[in-house]
Amino acid sequence: MTNLTDLGIAAIRDGFKAGDFTARDVASAFNDAVAGAKALNAFIVETPEIALAAADQADKDRAAGTLKPLSGVPIGMKDLFATKDVQTTAASHILEGFVPQYESTVSGKLWNAGAGMLGKLNLDQFAMGSSNETSFFGNVISPWRRNNGDTAALAPGGSSGGTSSAIAARLVPGATGTDTGGSIRQPAAFTGISGIKPTYGRCSRWGIVAFASSLDQAGPMARDVRDCAILLENMAGFDPKDSTSLDLAVPNWEAALSSDLKGKRVGIPKEYRVDGMPAEIDALWEQGIAWLKDAGAEIVNVSLPHTQYALPAYYIIAPAEASSNLARYDGVRYGLRDLPDGANLQDMYAATRAAGFGDEVKRRILIGTYVLSAGFYDAYYTQAQKVRTLIARDFDQAWEKCDLLLTPTAPSAAFGLGEKSDDPLAMYLNDVFTVPTSLAGLPAMSVPGGLDALGLPLGLQIIGKALDEQTVLNAGLAIEERAGFTARADKWW
């Protein structure tokens, strides 16, 4: 029998439906994989019993003929989604021990669709980071290693590092991530898997620990494009509890998947060719262009003139929103409370938040507080929101000449843990290709394109028009079929 953990979501779903194996077998196999992979530190909490319970229900449903879209499929859940009666921490000490009495809309949809939960996946604290080095529960380690004998622990990308690591290591067939400035796409690129950030408003934010409200989006990560489409269909949809949710029907993305790009124009934005870009990444980009051409697309050069301002704008807007969103973590109603002797209420706040938040979180809260403060609001925040309008306009103008854009996902392959954590600014530059799309709210996906000279995955990013996830997925599929990416990390854990 095939190693069950080598199966992706579609294969599990269809094989289970066809009677090839029981759901319990699948859940057990993945539970074992999870249990044996503690060295990766991909999970904050493992929930094997919950996975088995869902599997048992799936087996029952199969017998009764009442199968659901994801019956038999166990997945991982990024620990940013509130899960009822299961600890949810956002990888922070300030929420350690917090057990929500409610389920996030997105995770609830997945469980209602029949999926089971293998555990809560580690992440950068409050989704702030690009290497999963800011978690209170320790770094996540990528299953990948350089092929030159170097056993340095590599970053799985961030903030959805637990997700990317777990999928790449076959601990889960697929999982949820969230993307605010690239936190689905960049970890997907670092670990050779696929991930899509949908149009802003496609997935409900209700019950997801908020980082930057105007940017956060939930999305699926899995080993191929079809699996991403399947998961996304079961995550997306209008939620009246989220005022920013889009009241639109969920398209049948999986059914409409097609790698035929005839009639599509692919834009290549010149500003994404940055100084000092590694030659391998440039080469992969060219390769990607060729693949899409081969799939029938026309290639067009376009310009997105304000690209270089996207990162600084993002690092004003996101911290500003975060500084306000994280004000609720104050030790009064839940989470950590640090009450030194003789402390009054305001002292309690200051002590709790000092003890509870990690350094990067504090840094961003301080920046956010500063840029919103009296005297600086116009110069920073208002200016950043205006630049954001210009960035969105750049894309609108590009759409006159093309239907999608192709770029690299990240400016490098996975770096070693600790290599960039001394310089926050260096870390922020990881997001240079992903942030513009976040600011414009557009759908974007990363698919693996190949390996670099050290055997580490490199990803290609497809950006689409608002609400056109289909074209994004289709282009992703076109690349996937041609890239023939079958590399996987050798098991060292």
Partner 1 sequence: MSESTYRIQGTTGEWEVVIGLEVHAQVTSNSKLFSGAAASFGAEPNTQVSLVDAAMPGMLPVPNAECIRQAVRTGIAIDAQINRWSRFDRKNYFYADLPQGYQISQLYHPLVGEGHLDIDADEKAGILEAKRIGVERIHVEQDAGKLMHDQHPTRSYVDLNRSGVALMEIVSRPDMTSPAEAGAYLRKLRAILRYVGSCDGNMEEGSMRADVNVSVRRAGEELGTRTETKNVNSVRFVMQAIEHEANRQVDVLEAGGKIVQETRLFNPDTGTTRSMRSKEDAHDYRYFPDPDLLPLELTEAFVEECRASLLELPDAKRARYVDVLGISAYNAAVLTAEVETARWFEALLKEGAEAKQAANWVMSELFGALNRLGKSIEDSPVSPAQAAELLTLVTDGTLSGSLAKQVFEKMLETGDSAGTIVERDGLKQTSDTGAIEAVIADVLAKNPGQLEQYRSGKEALFGFFVGQTMKAMAGKANPAVVNELLKKALG
Partner 2 sequence: MSVDHATVRKIASLARIAVTDDQVEAMVPELNNILGWIEQLGEVDTSAVQPMTAVIPNVLRLRDDVVTDGDVRDAVLKNAPQAEQGFFTVPKVIE
State how far the Cα of 48 lies from the Cα of 54, in Å rounded to an integer: 10
> Parallel, antiparallel, or unpaired for β 217-222 and 444-451?
unpaired
Q: Is 183 a catalytic residue?
A: yes
Q: Of 467, 471, 461, whose CA–CA distance to 436 is shortest?
A: 461
How many CA atoms lie within 13 Å of 47's alpha carbon, on the beta-carbon side?
25
* Choice between 145 and 205, CB closer to partner 1: 205
Q: Which residues contact 399 (CB under 8 A, 6 or more apart)?
A: 465
State how far the Cα of 82 lies from the Cα of 107, in Å rounded to an integer: 8
151 contact, one of partner 2, partner 1, none, CB 5-8 Å limit per kind: none
* Choice between 67 and 372, CB closer to partner 1: 372
Please answer whether residues 102 and 41 qualify as being in contact, where contact means their C-beta atoms are separated by less than 8 angstroms. no
* Choice between 26 and 212, CB closer to partner 1: 212
Please answer whether residues 483 and 295 qualify as being in contact, where contact means their C-beta atoms are separated by less than 8 angstroms. no
Residue 375 CB, shortest distance to partner 1, in Å, is 9
Write the CA distances from 466 to 396, 442, 471, 476, integer angstroms.
Answer: 10, 5, 11, 16
Q: Is 293 a catalytic residue?
A: no
- How many helices (H) and strands (E) in the chain? 15, 11
Question: By CB under 8 A, what part of segment 128-157 binds partner 2?
Answer: none
Q: What is the DSSP letter of 154?
A: B
Task: Please tell me whether the peptide bond between 160 and the residue prior to it is cis, using omega within 30 degrees of 0.
Answer: no
Residue 391 CB, shortest distance to partner 2, in Å, is 9
401 contact, one of partner 1, partner 2, none, CB 5-8 Å limit per kind: none
Q: Is 78 a catalytic residue?
A: yes
Question: By CB under 8 A, what part of segment 359-378 binds partner 2?
Answer: 362-363, 365-367, 369-371, 373, 376
Q: How far is CA 181 from the centre of its chain?
A: 9
328 contact, one of partner 2, partner 1, none, CB 5-8 Å limit per kind: partner 1
Q: Which of 335, 408, 457, 459 binds partner 2 (CB under 8 A)?
A: 335
Q: Which of 16, 315, 395, 415 binds partner 2 (CB under 8 A)?
A: 315
Helix residue ranges per DSSP H, 72-159: 105-112
Active-site entry in 71, 165, 183, 245: 183
237 contact, one of partner 2, partner 1, none, CB 5-8 Å limit per kind: none
Q: Among the candidate windows 286-294, 385-393, 396-404, 469-477, which touches partner 2 by CB under 8 A?
A: 385-393
* Choice between 58 and 384, CB closer to partner 1: 384
Question: By CB under 8 A, what part of segment 256-275 binds partner 2?
Answer: none
Residue 131 CB, shortest distance to partner 2, in Å, is 17
- 368: its two tokens: 């956010």
- 53: its two tokens: 């319970």
Residues forming contacts to partner 1 in the complex (CB under 8 A) are 81-82, 88, 90, 95, 98, 100-102, 104, 205-210, 212-214, 240-244, 320-321, 323-324, 326-328, 330, 332-334, 345-346, 349, 369, 372-374, 377, 381
Q: Any idea which residues carry the catalytic annotation?
A: 78, 159, 183
